[in-house]
A and B are shown apart, each in its own frame.
Chain A
Amino acid sequence: MTTKPVLKLVRGAAAPSPQVRELDWSILMARAQDGDANAYRRLLESITPYLRAHASRCHRNPSDVEDAVQDILLTLHAVRATYDPARPFGPWLTAIARRRLIDRLRRQGRRRVFETEFEPAHETFADPPANFEDMTDIHKIAAALDRLPPAQREALRLTKIEGLSLKEASAASGMSVAALKVATHRAVERLRRFFSGGSES
């Protein structure tokens, strides 16, 4: 009972045959039906890897696999009176496991109809840096802004980039509203000239 069965948890791999330990399992289950908690624990611990292998053929996500195994164990517990020790244990266990796995897959299928999967693309587009990356000439814009005279750059930053109103920008910068208007206008003119290929001087 101390050696654990070798398992392949690879998707699509065959579940290990339960026949080897079936007799042991059958005896343990018969004792568990009589109320032997120790035998029951040993039985459950020993069938869990087998159930896990079974479940991992239906589910990819490890937590789904674990949920399925627990689901099967709970059902086994509920119907343990139906086991007849004169009959093999394997088919009894497999029938319960298969039933639960099919139920789970059906429920999952129903749920997926109402859900949209969260793909990497969704995350990328929601992330601000990802969107700036798309603008190829962001460095050019930064360079052009650097070349503006400080007053014009400040006026442009406050009114166009930060989106403040003229009053707020005037309060923030200490320039008058009229001066801000002129500086912003000149800055935009300059940038336009810069990007249309003309000289900025």
Chain B
Amino acid sequence: MTPTDDLISALAANLRPVRRLRPPLLRATGFLLLAALILAMIALVHGWRPGLLVRLAEIRFALSLAGALLTGVLAAVAAFLVSLPGRSRHWLWLPIPSLALWLFSIGYQCLSFWTPMASEGASPGETASCIATLVLTSLPLSLALALMLRHAASFNPAPVIFAASLSVAGITAAALTLFHPLDASVEILMFNLGTGLLIMLSGAAINMFLSRRAEMPE
């Protein structure tokens, strides 16, 4: 009896029935419905930004909004597909064109932070409610994605975390554009991808620490 046979016996003996995951596109749709629900609730409570319809006629504004939304949607689809073993990793390319569109449309105002905008009509109260929108959108969405994609942790976490943070960033930025007369796309993108990177790095650190502990049991 080799240890591998023992392991097989142990795994079979402790087998519990599992519920198969639903198809990835269905699950991505579920997640996006949740995102839509959150946006609708914010719209209900907070209301659209002043002059939204006028701004939507501007091509640059419309492109930026569409790019952010599309990035959010496609990155979510990519995350759900890539999280499954045996699916092509090329799905990660899916959100790239819309990301390019989004980045292109916000490129001209790179890193213009919120403070200078205050003189143009955004009051300090507006900034606070803007941050509230950010937190209310990105936090539940991130938690939902982390819960729905947790099976990827033991398979291949890095690309899934990347796609998931991109998706949350896109949706959050779209929410901000819809509800507030501010544009913080670059900050949101940096913040969300930075958080994703932080999660990956801490995961790698914990992994290294644990494997070292496992190899040198003192």
Chain A residues within CB distance 8 Å of chain B: 32-38, 40-41, 44-45, 48, 66, 69-70, 73-75, 77-85, 87-88, 91-96, 99, 107, 110-111
Contact = CB atoms under 8 A, between A and B. Distances in A.
Nearest to B211: A107
A26 to B, nearest CB: 12
A41 B17 contact: no
B7 interface: yes
A79 B17 contact: no
Contacts of A87: 86
Interface of B: 2-5, 7-9, 11-13, 15-21, 23, 83-87, 151, 154-156, 208, 211, 215
Which of B5, B16, B17, B85 is the most central at the interface, judged by chain A CB atoms within 10 Å of its CB?
Answer: B85
Contacts of B215: 111
B1 to A, nearest CB: 12
Contact of A75 (B3, B84, B155): B155
Given A73-B8, A95-B85, A96-B155, A81 B3 contact: no
A5 to B, nearest CB: 16
Contact of B4 (A66, A81, A82): A66
Contacts of B85: 79, 82-83, 91-93, 95-96, 99
B15 A40 contact: yes
Contacts of B7: 70, 73-74
6 contacts: A40-B15, A73-B4, A74-B7, A81-B20, A92-B84, A95-B86
A167 B58 CA distance: 106
A41 B9 contact: yes
Contacts of B16: 35
A83 B9 CA distance: 21
Nearest to B83: A82
Nearest to A44: B8
9 A-B pairs closest in CB distance:
A35-B17, A41-B12, A92-B86, A91-B86, A95-B85, A81-B18, A78-B154, A44-B8, A95-B86
Given A75-B155, A95-B86, A81 B19 contact: yes
A69 B4 CA distance: 8
Given A32-B15, A44-B8, A79-B85, A66 B155 contact: no
Given A79-B151, A83-B20, A70 B4 contact: yes
A81 B15 contact: no
A185 B141 CA distance: 92
Contacts of A41: 8-9, 12
Nearest to A42: B12
Nearest to B6: A70
A66 B17 contact: no
A199 B86 CA distance: 87
Contacts of B9: 41
A36 B18 CA distance: 11
Contacts of B2: 66
Contacts of A96: 85, 155
Given A45-B8, A73-B7, A73-B8, A33 B17 contact: yes
Contacts of A99: 85, 155-156
A138 B17 CA distance: 74
Contact of B151 (A48, A82, A110): A82
B154 A81 contact: no
B154 A34 contact: no
